[in-house]
Every structure is written in C-alpha cells, then in structure tokens.
Amino acid sequence: MAVEQGVAASERPVWSEFVSRMGPAWIVSAVACGPATMASVSIAGGLYGYQVLWVIILSALLAFVAQFMAAKIGLLSGRGIISLVESTWGGPLAWILMIDALAATWLASTVLMKALADVTGLVTGFQTPLWPLIYAVLIFLLVGFGGYKLVERICKVLVALVVLCFVVTVVKVAPDLAQVVKGLAPRLPGGVQGALMMAGIMGGAVHVTIIGMHTYNVNARGWKAGQMRLAWTDTFLSMFVAFGLYSVAIFLAAGTVLHPRGIEVRSALDLARVLQPLLGPYANAMLLAGIWAAVLSTIMPTFLAAGYFLADKMKWELSVKDARFKAVVGFGCLLSLVAPLLKGSFLYLLVTMLAFGLCGTPLILLLLLILLNRKDTVGDRKNGLLLNVLAILALLITTLLAARFLAAKLGF
C-alpha cells in the first residue's frame, strides 16, 4: 500500500507539470474561436442546415495539422517562420511572406475593430464613429504597456459561457441525427455565397496569421525540440478538440434552430435567436456580451502578431519592450481607425475577411511543408508519411477553396 501511494505521489507532479506547461496552441485556439468563426459557422448552419458539417470537421483537423507543423518548425529551428525562410531562401521570399502575413493580419484587425464598434453600439444604444478611436487607444495601452492579460481572461470567461449556452442548446433542441450523419458526406454548395462560406469556414481554422504566430508562440514559451510530444498534445487538444467542439456546437445549434424556420443570419440579433430556446428573452444580452468579449480577446493578439512578423524580418527584439515593436502595434491600431468606412453587416465582413485571409494561407503551408522535409533544417526529425499526406491535403484544399472564392468574386 505504501509503495502504491509512493508511486501515485511521484506520478502526480509529472502529470501536473505536463498540464501546467501546455499553452501556446491555446493562445492560437482562442484567436481561432473568435467572432469570425462564430459568424461563418452560424451563417452556414442557417443557410445549409447540416449539409456542410463535413467542412466544419475537416477544418478542425486541418487546423491541427497546420498548427502542429508551425509548432514543429518553431521547436526544431528555434526561430520564427520569417527569419527561417530568409536564412533558407533569401530576403525576397521572406519579404513576400511577411507582406502576405501583414496584409491578412491588418485586414483582420480592421474588420475586428468594425465588429467591436458595432457591437458596442448595440449594447450601449449609442452608435458613434468614435468607438474605434476609443478602443484603439485602449488596446494600444493594454498591449503596449501591459494589462491586457487580465482583460483577456475576463473575455475568455464570457466567451466560454456563451459557448456553453450553444452546447446546452444543441442538447435541448436535439438535432436530427440521421440528417447530421448525412452532413458528413462531402458536398459543396454553389454560387458566390457558397464559395464565400466554404472559404470563410476554412479560413477561420487555417489562416496565415495564426499559423505564422504559432512559430513564435512556442519559442516565447521556451519550448525546445525535446518537447515535441507536449507540443502535439497541446495542439491536438486546443485545435482539433476545443476548436472543433466550438465550431460544431455553434453550427449544429444554428442548423437546428434557424434553418428549418428559413432564418438567415445577417445580424447579431439574428444569431441570438439560436439561443432563444435556452435563454428566452436573455438571449440577445448573452450573445452580444459573448461577441464583444470574443472580438476583444481576438483583436489584441492580432495586433501582436503583426509586430512579430515585421520585427522578425527586421531583426528587432520580438517583444513589446522594443519601441519599434510597440510602434508596429500602434500603427495597426491607427490603421484600424478606417473601420467606420466599412459598410454592411460586420458578421458578413468577418466571413469575407476570413475568406481573403485563406487566399494568403497556401504560401505558408507550402513553405512549412518544404522546410519540414529538409534535413538541413530539421535534421532527422523530418515529417513522417502521415503528416506529409495531411499537409498536402491541407495545401490542396486551402488552394482549391481560395481559388474558388476568388473566381466567384471575379464573376467566373
């Protein structure tokens, strides 16, 4: 008995340490589980019912694959993706990748600022173009001078409550399991809207911003090559399990509550109808609080990601302690002030932002795939067959959906 107690006591700290050291991929997952993904999967559920469930699940799988490759390259090289590309192929390609990542990141932060301002107007009943300016100053101070971690934690609690409401709603409304199973059969809805929705769903999971950001996250956490198993577990639980459950729960709730009634999600209040079977008259307040928290917790690391990309290329310190890094964050905040000029529903703008972001993703996936099969880059830790097959699948699908979206936008 004493021996068994001793063994159990010795095992507990090991597991406790393992859990406590997890984290970098959860930062990325928190960004992925943001308002844009909430918008894309809920709109898709309202429009198509369960028809595109297969895309939701596939997006979670490919999110795991892409983020694990990003973590792996960070662990094995000890560097961020842009400086590694520069040392491997030279400056021009590194500049292309940096511009690609920056464009997608600053587009995302601008649309997120639009969403933040619009939701604040709905909550307060006071619509003003000054909201972006107020938030830009607040976010710059929080990110540039500390304090945003506490705000981020509060926001994540609110988001978790809203997600829990979606999960309970799914249980309460009881989706038709036979129809849910049919949604696992691959089918692509046609038209411009179909192309937009498929690209938006995939863009929320496999996006150049979060893939690039994760190569820096693992290094900032101090992880080394020997912690590959920890990185795999961290990424699998955060991206495939947590992000997958988040996406599927919201999608099934929207597909069950909205689609049979012919309700298309065009505004936040349309989306709130999904929660009415559970929350009744309180659905609007809970949904708006959740969206506000999701936007605020997503936009701050997005501004930081832009700082990482430019600082890595320019050989600056990868920290807001560096005045130049802080200036990049400030520039992103200033750029986001054009948000009031964006017209239309912020939900559809978020989906469009994800679709355009997807167009910049195949390049970084291709570079990661090549780098992780070069012995001079990763030594004997090259990709195995399964990871290479999944990576090629991710590259092909993102390229196909991005090309289909662009073709539809151009009228082909």
What ranges do the domains of the chain cover? 26-409
Note whether 119 and 288 are within 8 A (CB).
Answer: yes
d(CA 29, CA 36): 13
CATH of domain 26-409: 1.20.1740.10
pLDDT of residue 198: 95
pLDDT of residue 21: 57
Please measure the distance between the N-terminal and C-terminal CA atoms of the chain and give it in whole angstroms. Answer: 73
Q: Compute CA 28 distance to the chain's CA centroid, rounded to the nearest angstrom.
A: 6
d(CA 220, CA 325): 15
d(CA 209, CA 306): 8
Phi/psi for 36 (5° steps) reads -70, -45
pLDDT by position in tens, the chain (length 412): 433 344 344 444 445 554 555 578 888 888 888 899 999 999 999 999 999 999 999 999 999 999 999 999 999 998 999 999 999 999 899 999 999 999 999 999 999 999 999 999 998 988 888 999 999 999 999 888 876 677 777 777 888 888 899 999 999 999 999 999 999 998 888 888 999 999 999 999 999 999 999 999 888 888 888 889 888 999 999 999 999 999 999 999 999 999 999 988 888 888 999 999 999 999 999 999 989 988 988 998 899 999 999 999 999 998 888 999 999 999 999 999 999 999 989 999 999 999 999 999 999 999 999 999 999 888 888 899 999 999 999 999 999 999 999 999 888 7
pLDDT of residue 5: 40
Tokens of 196: 């937009």
| 343 to 37, 44, 75, 201, 372: CA distances (angstroms) | 20, 21, 42, 21, 42
The angle formed by the CA atoms of residues 279, 49 and 56, to the nearest 5 degrees, is 90
User: Which residues, 6+ apart, have CB-to-CB distance to 6 below 8 Å?
Assistant: none
Note whether 180 and 252 are within 8 A (CB).
Answer: yes
In 3D, which of 318, 369, 385, 335 has the Cα closest to residue 78? 318
Q: Is 266 exposed, middle or buried (0-12, 13-18, 19+ CB in 10 A)?
A: middle
